[in-house]
Amino acid sequence: MITKKKKLRPVDIEGYIKYICHNCLQEHWVSFKEAKHPKFVIVCRCDETLKVKTVESISIKHIKKHKKNSTAQPGGSAIENSSLVNETRDVLLNYGFSKTEADGLISSACEKQNFTTCEDLIKCVLTKFGESSNVK
pLDDT at 136 over 50: no
Distances in whole angstroms, Cα of residue 75 to Cα of each of 72, 78, 110, 111: 8, 9, 11, 9
pLDDT at 39 over 50: yes
Model pTM?
Answer: 0.40
Q: Give pLDDT, residue 49.
A: 93
**pLDDT tier, 74 (very low <50, low <70, confident <90, very high otherwise):** very low
Q: How far apart are the first and last CA of the chain?
A: 65
Return the ∠ at Cα 53 (arms to 51 and 59), rounded to 5°.
145
- 35/58: higher pLDDT: 35
pLDDT at 41 over 90: yes
What phi and psi values does residue 125 have, to the nearest 5 degrees? Answer: -60, -45
Q: Give pLDDT, residue 71.
A: 45
Asked if 76 and 70 count as a contact pair (C-beta separation under 8 A), the reply is no
Q: Flag the least confident range among 26-35, 36-45, 58-67.
A: 58-67
Q: Please state, for a pLDDT cut of 90, what percent of the chain lies above it.
A: 17
Q: Give pLDDT, residue 20.
A: 92
pLDDT at 44 over 80: yes
d(CA 28, CA 103): 51
